[in-house]
Structure 1
Amino acid sequence: MIKLMKNLSVYKWIVLAVLGLVFIQSMADLYLPTLMSDIIDKGVVIGDTAYIWKIGGLMLLVAAFGAIASVVASFYSSKAAMGLGRDIRRKVFKHVEQFSLQDFDEFGTASLITRTTNDITQVQQVVIMMLRMVISAPIMFVGGIIMAVYKDAKLSLVIVLTMPVLIGSVLLILYKGVPLFKTVQKRLDKLNLVLRENLTGIRVIRAFNREKQEKLRLQKANRELTEVSIKVNKVMAFLMPVMMLVMNITVVLVIWFGGIRIDGGNMQIGDLMAFIQYIMQIMFALVMASMMFVMVPRAAVSANRINEVLSKKPTSLNEGEKTADRERGTLEFDHVSFSYPGAEEPVLSNIHFQAKSGEVTAIIGGTGAGKSTLVNLIPRFYDVTSGAIRVNGVDIRDTSQEEVRSKIGFVPQKALLFSGTINENIRFGKKDATQEEIEHAARIAQAEDFISEMDEGYDSVITQGGSNVSGGQKQRISIARALVRKPDIYIFDDSFSALDFKTDANLREALKDETKNATLIIVAQRVSTVVDADQIIVLDKGAIAGIGSHKELLESNSVYREIVESQLSEEEIA
C-alpha cells in the first residue's frame, strides 16, 4: 500500500492543501461546543439575549467556515485520488504490455482485468477516505479528549471505562474480517474469468448446445463470490451496532454522572452539554477510524495484487542498448529447444536452420507438430529454453523487445481486427503510414477489391473483433497491416487458410516483388501454399524431420510425402 502511495508525490500540493483544509474543519468542529457552552451558561441561564445573538452569530460563522473547508477538501481529495487511480492504471497497462505470453499465463487475463479495474478502484476509495480521515480523526480524538478533560477531568473517567471495550470490539471484528477480503478478490477473479470465457466463446457454446452447463458454471462462481461477500459483510455489520451501543451507553453514563456533578455544584449545564458534544466527537473519530480500518485492509489486499503485477519483471524483457545489425533480413535458429512452463516434455527439440533475405522459408507439419510455437519464439512471445535465435545476426535476447519486434511483420493464425476504420487497422502496423502506403499494402494483400466495394471504402468501420467482415477479409486486412510495416522478416502463421486457392496464388505472386529484400516465414497446412518455397522445413513431433525444396523432400522425406499424398492426387504430385 505504501509503495503505491508514493505515486501521490505528483499531487503533493493538492494533498497538503487537503490536509490544511481538514485541519481547519476539525478545529472549527472542536470550537463549536465551547461556544454552545458559553451561550447556555452566560446567555440562556442569565437571560442575556444580546450575548446569545453575538455568540450565535459567531457559531454560524465558524460552522460556515468549517463547512466550506470540508467541501473544498472533499473536492481536492477526490481529484488527487482519481488522478492516482489514472496514473496507476496507466502504469499497470504499460507494464503488462511488456509481458511475454508466459507472464500472461502466470496471472491470467481475467485476473489482470480485475487488478486493473476493481483493485485500483478499491485503492482510490481508501485514498479519498485517508486524505479526509488521516488528519481529521486524530485531531478530533485527541482534541476531544483534551477539551473534555478541560471541561471536567473527573467526568472524563467515563471515557477511560468505555474506550477499551470499543477498541477491543473493533480489533476483534477486523481480525475476523480481514482474511476474507483476499478471498473476495480471488472469487471476483474467478467470476470475471467465467464471464469472459462465456462472452468470447459464445459461438462455440451455442454450437454445442452448452448454454445450460455454462449457466450452471456461472451460477457456481457467482454463488461462491456471494457467499464469501455475505460472510465478510456479516462480520463487518457488527462494527456499527457495537460502536453505536458503546457510544450511547457512554452518553447515558455522562448524563447520569454529569447530573450528579451539576446537582453538587461542581459543573454547569453548559459544560455538560459541551462535554456530551466532545464525547460524541471522540466516538465519531473512532467510528471514522474504524471505517478506515475496514477499507484499508481490503485496499491493502488490492494494492498487493497491483504490486505483484508491477514488480513482475517480464521474463523476455531486456532493456539493454540496441545492438547494431550485422546482416539485414536474416533469421537463424541455432539448436533451439523450448518447453512450456510445467510441461513434462519439450514442444520443440534441437531446431536448427537459417532463413536468408529474399528467400521464402515454409514450415509444414501435422497438427501439434509445434509450428505456431516455433514462430511465436521469433518475436519473443516466449523465450527459448536452450539454444539461440538470431535476427539479422543478433541474438534476440541481447536486445530489447521493441527492437526485435520493429523488424518483424507478424500475421497471427487467428486474424484479429480492432474496432475502428480499415485505415486505422492497417495503420496499426505503421502509425505514420501515408494513405498511398495503406492502399499499396491492401492491393498486395488482395484486399483492395472488397474494400473499394464498401460504401465508405478505407473509412469503413470495423466492428469489435471484425464481426462485420468475413474470415478471408479479416485475414487480408491483417496481412496488409504487416505489409505496410515493411519489416526485415515477415511471419505468416497459417495466414492463408481462409483464402480460396485463386486468392492464395495471387497473394503469393504479389508478395514475391514486395518482399524480395526481406525474409518470408510461412506456416501452412496446405501443400499448394508452400510448394514454391525456397526451402521447406518439415516438423514432426517438435523436431525437424527434413529440410529442402518441394522436389527434394518429395523424393527423400517420407513425412513430407505422406502430407503431400493426403492432399494432392497422383496427377498433381507428378
Structure 2
Amino acid sequence: MELYGRYFRTYRKLFFFAVFFVFLETMVDLLQPTLMARIIDDGIRRGEVSRVLQLGGLMLGATALGAGFAALRNILASRVSQRFGQELREDLFRQTLYLGEGEADALGSGSLVTRLTNDTAQCMQFANGMMRIFFKAPITALGSVILAFLLSPQLSLVLFLLLLVVGVLITLSMRLSYTRFAWVQKAMDQLNAKVQEYLLGIRLVKTYGRHETEREKFEGVNGELEKRSMASQRVIAWFSPLLTLTLSLGIALVLYLGSYMFSRGEIEVGKIAAYISYMTQILSSIIMITNIFNTFVRTKASSARILEVLDSPGEAQTKGESLGQALKVLAFDEVSFAYPAGSGVPALKKVTFTLAAGETLAVIGSTGSGKSTLSWLLLRFYEPSDGCITLNGQDIQTLDPGEIRQRIALAPQKPQLFSGTVRENIAWGRPDAPAKDEEWAARTAMAEEFILKMPKGYDSPLRQGGVNLSGGQKQRISIARALAKRGEILILDDATSALDALTEAKVRSALRRIFPKPMTFLITQRVSTAMGADRILVLEEGSVAGWGTHGELLKSCAIYRELYDSQIGLEEKSYGE
C-alpha cells in the first residue's frame, strides 16, 4: 500500500528483522506435527520410551525456541508500529495546519479529527499485525499445504478443492466489505462533527434548553453509525461461519478417507495425526487470513482518507516571492469572491479601495455584507474569484502567504484563547516579544487592570478557550495579542463587540496613540467605532455602497446615514428634545 511504502523505508531494517523472526517462528510451528508423527510411529507404536523422550524433548526445545522468536518479533513490531503511528499523526497534523480554508471546509473538522485518530489507529493496527501475524498466516498456510501434500498426495486432493472454495468465499467477502467499511468511516465523521458542535455550543444549548433536540440529533448520527457498522459486520457474520463450516467439512472428509486408507495399510496413524494437525493449522491460518483481509479492507479505506489529506496541495507547498520592503500601500481592485461549495451568491462584488501605511480604514455594514471576507482574502485563506489584491503594487497571489501573515496582526470577531498563561496568550503571535511589549499591549487593550487582579497576574493560567474569563476580557486579551505582534497591518474584526461603550472608547483612544501606527482595519457594525477612522468603507450585500470620511458619508451615503440615525442620531435627537 502506498501509505506504508512512504513510511516503512525508514524502518526497513527493523521490518525485515521482524519478518525474519516471524519466518523462523513459523518454521518451528510447522516442525511440530512432523515431530508428533515421529513420536507416534517411531516411539509409541514400537514401545521405545527413550525415542519418545528424545523426540518429546526436541518438541519442547522447538516450542521454547519458537516462543523466543515470537517475543522478538512482537517487540520489533510494536516498536515499528508505534513509531509509524507517531510520525503519521505528526505529518497529518502538520498538513492540517497548512490546509487551505477551502480544503478544510470541504473535509470538515469532524472528518479531520476522525482521520487523525480513528483512521491513524486503524493503520497502526494493520502495521503491527503485518509484522506479527499477517506474514505468519500465509507462510503457515503455504507450509502446511506443502508438508501435508508430502505426507499424502491422495488426501491433498480434498485439501486443494477446499482451498479453491475458501478462495472464492474470501474474494466475495472483500468485495462486499470495502464499500461498507468506507461508509462506516463517513458515519464516524458525522458523529465526531456532531459531538464537536455540541461541545462548542454547550452553554447555548443549556441556555435555550435544547438538550432533547441535541440528544435526538446525536441519536440520529449514532444510529446511522450503528446501521452502517452492522451492515459491514453482517458480511463477516455470514462469511466467517461459512469458512469454518467448509474447513470443518474438509477435516471430516480427510478423517474418513484417512481411516479408509489406514485400513488398507496405505498410511500410518502418525501421518494421519500429522495431516490433521496440518489441516488444523491451515484452518487457523485461513481464518486468520480472512481476518487479515477484513482488516485490510478497513485499513484501505482509512489509508485512502489519510492520503487525501497528506496529498492535498495545502499552503505548505504554496511559496511565492518576498515582499521585502516595508508595506506602503494596500489596494483591492475590482475584487469579487464567492465561498467554495457555498450558496454560489458572491460575498464580495467588485470591491475597490486603497489604503496607505499609517491610515485607519473602518469597514461597516449589516450582517452578511462581506466585511470579514475582506480580511480572509487579505490573509490568503481564500483567493479572489475576480480582481486582485496588491501590496506595494504586487499581486498577493505571487507573494509567500507565510510572509504576508507575518506582517498582519488579527483580533478576530470570536476571540480564541489557548490553554496556558495570560502572558503566553498575549505573546502567542510573537513568542520572542519582550515582557515590556506584552505589558504595553495589555495596557493599550485595557486588559492590564483585570490581569493584575488575577491570582498570578500575567502568569495566571487560562483554560482551553479562555472559559475562565468573561467575553469582554477574552476580547481584550485577543486585542493585546494582536498589538504585541507589532504587525504592519492590524485587523480588528468586530473585536470590541463585547466591550461597553466607555471601555471601547478608551481602547480606540489608546490605539490612536500607537507609534509607529500600523495600517489598521476596523471591521465593525458600530458607527461610533467607525466615525473616527481616516476612511470608511460601507458594504451592502458585498458591494461598495459608500467610501469617504464620516462627514462625507453622512451627506452622500443613505445606508451609512440610516446606520448613524439608528445607532446615534435618533438618540441625540431624543436627548435634545
Alignment TM-score, normalising by the size of structure 2: 0.95
Name the CA distance, whole Å, in 1 between partners of 2:368 and 2:228.
41
Name the CA distance, whole Å, in 1 between partners of 2:134 and 2:11.
16
Q: Which residue of 1 aligns with 2:283?
A: 283
Report the Cα offset of residue 571 of structure 1: 8.5
Report the Cα offset of residue 285 of structure 1: 2.1
Q: Which residue of 2 aligns with 1:54?
A: 54
* Secondary structure at 2:513 match in 1: helix
Report the Cα offset of residue 15 of structure 1: 0.6
Report the Cα offset of residue 175 of structure 1: 3.0
- Tell me if the contact between 2:329 and 2:356 (Cα under 8 Å) persists in the aligned partners: yes
* Secondary structure at 1:409 match in 2: strand
Name the CA distance, whole Å, in 2 between partners of 1:8 and 1:317.
23
Q: Which residue of 1 aligns with 2:163?
A: 163
Q: Which residue of 2 aligns with 1:153?
A: 153
Matched, 1:338 2:341: no
- Tell me if the contact between 2:472 and 2:498 (Cα under 8 Å) persists in the aligned partners: yes
Name the CA distance, whole Å, in 2 between partners of 1:39 and 1:392.
90
Map Cα deviations across residues 413-439 of structure 1 (whole Å, 9 max, x no partner): 111111221122112111222322222
Name the CA distance, whole Å, in 1 between partners of 2:398 and 2:61.
69
* Secondary structure at 2:8 match in 1: helix
Name the CA distance, whole Å, in 2 between partners of 1:256 and 1:558.
99
Superposition pairs of residues 536-551 of structure 1, within 5 angstroms: 536-551=536-551
The change in CA–CA distance for 1:286 and 1:318 in structure 2 (over 3 A counts) is closer
The change in CA–CA distance for 1:301 and 1:175 in structure 2 (over 3 A counts) is same
Map Cα deviations across residues 329-370 of structure 1 (whole Å, 9 max, x no partner): 532112211112243432111111111111111111122221
- Tell me if the contact between 1:330 and 1:489 (Cα under 8 Å) persists in the aligned partners: no
Map Cα deviations across residues 452-509 of structure 1 (whole Å, 9 max, x no partner): 0001111111112211101110001111111111111000001111112222122222
Q: Which residue of 1 aligns with 2:11?
A: 11
What letter is aligned with 1:17? F
The change in CA–CA distance for 1:571 and 1:109 in structure 2 (over 3 A counts) is closer
The change in CA–CA distance for 1:128 and 1:571 in structure 2 (over 3 A counts) is closer
- Tell me if the contact between 1:334 and 1:387 (Cα under 8 Å) persists in the aligned partners: yes
Name the CA distance, whole Å, in 1 between partners of 2:100 and 2:158.
62
Name the CA distance, whole Å, in 2 between partners of 1:327 and 1:170.
66
Report the Cα offset of residue 134 of structure 1: 4.1
Name the CA distance, whole Å, in 1 between partners of 2:197 and 2:83.
32
Q: Which residue of 2 aligns with 1:492?
A: 492
What letter is aligned with 1:546? G
Mean Cα displacement is larger for which, 295-304 or 40-49?
A: 40-49
Q: Which residue of 2 aligns with 1:79?
A: 79
Q: Which residue of 2 aligns with 1:383?
A: 383
Map Cα deviations across residues 64-121 of structure 1 (whole Å, 9 max, x no partner): 1111111221222122222222222211211121222222221111111111111111
Name the CA distance, whole Å, in 1 between partners of 2:292 and 2:239.
12
What letter is aligned with 1:260? Y
Mean Cα displacement is larger for which, 549-558 or 15-24?
A: 549-558
Percent identity over paired residues: 38
Map Cα deviations across residues 214-258 of structure 1 (whole Å, 9 max, x no partner): 221211111111122122212202333223222322222222222
- Tell me if the contact between 2:445 and 2:480 (Cα under 8 Å) persists in the aligned partners: yes
Q: Which residue of 2 aligns with 1:409?
A: 409
What letter is aligned with 1:105? D
Superposition pairs of residues 128-277 of structure 1, within 5 angstroms: 128-277=128-277
Name the CA distance, whole Å, in 2 between partners of 1:571 and 1:552.
21
Name the CA distance, whole Å, in 2 between partners of 1:33 and 1:297.
33
- Tell me if the contact between 2:319 and 2:401 (Cα under 8 Å) persists in the aligned partners: no
- Tell me if the contact between 1:362 and 1:533 (Cα under 8 Å) persists in the aligned partners: yes
What letter is aligned with 1:36? M
* Secondary structure at 1:303 match in 2: helix
Mean Cα displacement is larger for which, 551-560 or 401-410?
A: 551-560
Mean Cα displacement is larger for which, 197-206 or 222-231?
A: 197-206
Matched, 1:44 2:15: no
Matched, 1:559 2:559: yes
C-alpha RMSD over aligned residues: 2.0
Q: Which residue of 2 aligns with 1:123?
A: 123
Superposition pairs of residues 296-307 of structure 1, within 5 angstroms: 296-307=296-307
Alignment TM-score, normalising by the size of structure 1: 0.95
> Which runs of 5 or more structure 2 residues have no equivalent in the other structure?
none
Name the CA distance, whole Å, in 1 between partners of 2:170 and 2:571.
85
Q: Which residue of 1 aligns with 2:470?
A: 470
Mean Cα displacement is larger for which, 564-573 or 24-33?
A: 564-573
Name the CA distance, whole Å, in 2 between partners of 1:502 and 1:358.
25
* Secondary structure at 1:537 match in 2: strand
